[in-house]
Amino acid sequence: MLIIEDLQTRTRTWHSRKRNPNWKARPGLIVMKFGEQLRSSVIREYQWYYIDYDGLKADLKHPSGDVVAAAPATANSGKPPRREWTEDDESRFVSKLESELEKVHTKQQVKAMEISRRIAVSEREVRDVVNRLNERSLGSDGPSEEEFMLLEEDLSDIIADVHDLAKFVQLNYTGFYKIIKKHDKLTGWHLKPVFDTRLKARPFYKENYDDSVVKLSKLYDVVRTRGNPVKGDSAAGGSQASFIRHTTKYWVHPDNVTELKLIILKHLPVLVFNPSKEFEEADSAITSIYYDNPDKWDLYEGRLKKTEGAEAIRLRWYGPMKTETIFVERKTHREDWTGEKSVKARFAIKEKNVNPYLRGELLPAAVFEKARKEGKKSEKAIAEDERLAAEVQWSILKKGYKPVCRSFYHRTAFQLPADARVRISLDTELTMIREDNLGGVKRSGDNWRRMDIGIDYPFSQLPPGDICKFPYAVLEVKLQTQLGQEPPEWVRSLIASHLVEAVPKFSKFIHGTATLFPKHINLLPYWMPQMDVDIRKPVSHDFGIQRTGQSATNSTTDDEDDDYDSDEDQVTPAGSAEGESSTQVAVRSGRPQQQQQLVVDMEEQTTDRLPNDTYLYDSDDESDDQRLEEARRVGGWAYYQTLASTKADAAARIALTVLKALIPRPRATEVPRNARLESLLGTGEIQERRFKAPKGKKIYVPVRVEPKVFFAAERTFLGWLEYSIYIGTIAVTLLNFSTREGGHPSLIAAGAFTLLAILSLCYAVVIYLYRSQAIRTRRVARYYDKWGPSILCAALFGAVALNFVFEGRSREVW
């Protein structure tokens, strides 16, 4: 599948290479493949150090190095036949591939060392300027504004260097991945397992930029604030009484993680809880153990459906396994109509006391006995913690909650110390792991967590069924704004950019449980069917980081010998914390630049979210087979009732289809799209994409229900009831005021009005019961009435007309 871009109309359309293998692009069209993407993304500094993708591809097509033009062409293809790949060809290709690997690895190492040295030099320069600023005497000017501007420009240049290096690494890793895949496909020799070992010997793709990001963030914050960075308690959030807090979650493709971090650090510093300590990777590790009842999954369903009072219980620690302080946390969901906000409360407990506490052997009063003696917290705070500990302990013991799922990730948080108005966190390497003892396999045993793993990502010692690696990073934006106040402009630009994909109400606990327990969980979150959709998007507006003067070339191709196979799997460097950036965007955040053309690798892209796609969820209602299967397990009267219901539904659907086909009605006429619709939807066929849940499972789409919805249903029912009473009153009046001698026509009219009143009353009751049931179960149903009022008005008109006709005949008017 290819995406074709028309340079004249700027529209993109899908083209299937399988349906039309002889198709060739006409002039004015761009067909993007990895070769074009690589050439168009070349950074001037690195232009001689990229993988020679075209040369390696040519070696695969013409093993001997010369075109086999002398060979006779076949009648069918018109091309000379490929000769068999030999051992000499393999040795020559592997030698060149290793030479390319050495070239890329050396350049990456040299550039990484250069960046480290430049950061060290900048640290000394910033320290010198800050010392001069603090030690200036009375009457001296100290450092000038120009010095700070030069330092800021130098740091911006280093940030661009880190971005370019990350992009260079990602493109080359993708290039090696693709050329090896192409080699295995064309030659039949399996090079991938062998070359994986050679890649691990020169792991240019495993470079972790977290240390550089933390250092650059600290330096840039000092320079940006002109030597007066905001200080305060990193854990403090200030008073939140007069603020409204909004939290939104986004997915970030691994290609965009490094770029996203570099953009954010220009506005917010990395939040470091212990500035005096040198940054280590383990410091950013966060691990949580989620609890639930493995028989009923009460907490999972409650959090998924967002029912009032739904809880999530987890035990969390920061850093390595040897950490002694464990936090017991409870999240409680509150509906907006209650006037309360969702609450996350927690208390700290020593690791050695966790098992006795969970088993009920250690009471909450004993947990906080030492805290009371030390007097470091107020009695009120200790009493609240003790109450929380008692409630959590009661829930675990009473409802049989056990450890079911672990989440692990590295978190980079951006926030001004003691200022929680804007807080952004980015979680990478997100991994969910089973903690249960189901299926006769002891994982955690009698302990509160399993001990055969720690923070040793990627947890290669675990069997595949025990682990789920989330393919994206998770960005969480928390904003505290006063009433009527808008969030900062850069935040609005960030969340509207191509770098993020909004996923409201995403939950690590829900996703991990739904993924790791497919045999036990039948209700899936709404984002599960979209996990196979590539979330990368075109550059929507000028936002991001790019070095000025970077060369980019777009070219057309009509190379029929090229390979158009679609790589379903995404290429992400194994062991890399972020992946790296491979998207070209504008120069500096906030600076208008000419928008760059989207460069997409068509061999790698699985699906592209074009503007004309529509996503529909077809699995909220159970199919007849699923309902019958469920009723068959229950047995008895419930099965026969469900059987009759399904047969009646099937007959009604068939009858409705036949009636639609027989009844003459106006047919829709296709109207050609105007220029505006073509600019939005393109000229191609509008695609409709339906996501269906696996057999036996349902997708739960979040539905927000407030009390006024119940009241609206009641008001509608009372309105229909009032209408029915009016019609019934008319019927009684006609019946009572008719004479015995000539009352036959009036009796017929009164009967029509009476029947209409009864039917409207029954219809109102049925609709009210249906809507109430749908509201209680939070089902996505049609709450509007499409046909009822129209049919009622038509029936009323018919009854009035009937009465008019009979009354005219009785008075001998006609």
Q: Is the pLDDT of residue 128 over 80?
A: yes
Distances (CA, A) of 601 to 357, 596, 669: 54, 16, 38
Per-residue HEC secondary structure of 713-763 comes to HHHHHHHHHHHHHHHHHHHHHHHHCCCCCCCHHHHHHHHHHHHHHHHHHHH
Candidate ranges 240-254, 319-333, 596-610, 684-698; pick with highest mean pLDDT: 319-333
Nearest to 97 by CA among 195, 226, 215: 195
Which phi-psi region, left, alpha or beta, contains residue 16 (left: φ > 0; alpha: ψ -120 to 50)? beta
- pLDDT given for residue 184 in this prediction: 84
Lowest pLDDT segment from 102-116, 227-241, 352-366, 742-756: 227-241
Dihedral sign computed on CA atoms, order 463, 202, 158, 113? positive
Q: Is the pLDDT of residue 251 over 90?
A: yes
Question: For the chain, what's the residue count?
Answer: 814
Active site residue 508: yes
Give the residue extent of every domain in the chain: 32-220, 234-530, 610-640+681-699, 707-810
First to last CA, the chain: 74
DSSP 270: B
Distance CA(386)–CA(328), nearest Å, equals 12
Q: Is the pLDDT of residue 70 over 50?
A: no
Beta-bridge partner residues of 11? 6
pLDDT band of residue 682 (cuts 50, 70, 90) is low
- pLDDT tens per residue across span 640-655: 878 888 888 888 888 8
Task: Give the pLDDT mean for 99-119.
Answer: 89
Residue 234, token pair as written in the block: 């990193």
The model's pTM: 0.70
Residue 496, token pair as written in the block: 């509207």
Lowest pLDDT segment from 5-9, 50-54, 466-470, 600-604: 600-604
Nearest to 448 by CA among 356, 320, 514, 512: 356
Domain boundaries 234-530, corresponding CATH code: 3.20.100.30
Phi and psi at residue 14, to the nearest 5°: -85, 145
Q: Name the average pLDDT for the chain.
A: 76
The better pLDDT of the pair 556, 2 is held by: 2
Residue 697, token pair as written in the block: 């499972």
pLDDT band of residue 662 (cuts 50, 70, 90) is confident
Pairing of strands 523-525, 473-481: unpaired
DSSP secondary structure letters along 584-651 = ---SSTTS--PPPPP---TTT-S----TT-EEEE--SSPPHHHHHHHHHHH-THHHHHHHHHHHHHHH
DSSP secondary structure letters along 383-408 = HHHHHHHHHHHHHHHHHT-EEEEEEE
Burial of 768 (0-12, 13-18, 19+ CB in 10 A): middle
What is the number of H-type helices and E-type strands within the chain?
A: 20, 17
Of the residues 508, 692, 697, 698, which is catalytic?
A: 508
Q: Which residues contact 559 (CB under 8 A, 6 or more apart)?
A: none
**3-state percent helix, strand, coil for the chain, nearest multiple of 5:** 45, 15, 40
- pLDDT given for residue 685 in this prediction: 66
Nearest to 92 by CA among 53, 59, 58, 50: 59
Interhelix angle 788-810/707-736, rounded to 10 degrees, is 10
Dihedral sign computed on CA atoms, order 496, 501, 507, 509? negative
CB 84 within 8 A of CB 134: no
- pLDDT tens per residue across span 357-407: 999 999 988 888 888 888 888 888 899 999 999 999 999 999 999 999 999
